[in-house]
């Protein structure tokens, strides 16, 4: 069984995230959307809200599982018998950053990272941009799944 983890804070889930997840579904038997938690990080949405956004967005997709974790993603993968990490790339800066992490993860374990390029129509979307728009009471309906619109 080919299982992948798609790790992130998902604060909030965006159409950029769903673009990667939706396009990865044919590649894997199961995708675990794993919400990483960091006690030193300030989130806009609670862990329960972030889980609910994902749960509602993928309610009808049996291949999607949702989980939370702390610590290194490779430790989560080893503990849960996952061989692949799924990551999305929006631009060259993302590639350089993610390449270094992927190479380190492969050196520390045998876990492979699979990169998918975001679609051109979602490549500009980031959670930080969405949070900034929300803080300023702007409309994010073109940037996030319906489940996130509050």
Q: Which of 63, 90, 99, 106 is catalytic?
A: 90
Question: Is 128 part of the annotated catalytic residue set?
Answer: no
Q: How far apart are CA 128 and CA 123, in angstroms?
A: 13
Question: Is 127 part of the annotated catalytic residue set?
Answer: yes
**What sign results for the dihedral spanned by CA atoms 9, 133, 97, 91?**
positive
Question: Is 41 part of the annotated catalytic residue set?
Answer: yes
Q: Which of 39, 41, 62, 137 is catalytic?
A: 41
List the beta bridge partners of residue 60: none
Question: Is 50 part of the annotated catalytic residue set?
Answer: no
Q: Which of 17, 50, 51, 87 is catalytic?
A: 17
**CA dihedral of residues 66, 100, 82, 7 (deg, nearest 10):** 0
| Nearest residue to 18 (alpha-carbon basis) of 146, 145, 114 | 145
3-class DSSP state of 135: helix
Residues 6+ apart with CB under 8 A from 60: none
Q: Which of 50, 51, 87, 127 is catalytic?
A: 127
Which residues are catalytic, by number?
17, 41, 90, 127
């Amino acid at each position: 069984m080919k299982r992948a983890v798609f790790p992130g804070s998902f604060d909030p889930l965006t159409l950029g995230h769903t673009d990667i997840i939706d396009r990865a579904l044919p590649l894997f038997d199961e995708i675990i959307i794993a919400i990483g938690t960091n006690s030193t990080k300030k989130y806009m949405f609670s862990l329960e809200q972030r889980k609910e956004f994902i749960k509602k967005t993928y309610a009808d997709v049996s291949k999607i599982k949702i989980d939370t974790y702390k610590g290194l993603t490779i430790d989560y993968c080893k503990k849960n018998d996952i061989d692949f990490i799924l990551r999305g790339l929006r631009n060259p800066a993302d590639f350089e950053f993610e390449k270094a992490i992927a190479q380190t993860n492969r050196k520390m374990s045998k876990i492979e990272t699979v990169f998918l390029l975001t679609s051109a129509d979602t490549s500009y979307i980031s959670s930080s941009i969405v949070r900034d728009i929300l803080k300023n009471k702007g409309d994010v309906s073109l940037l996030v799944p319906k489940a996130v619109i509050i």
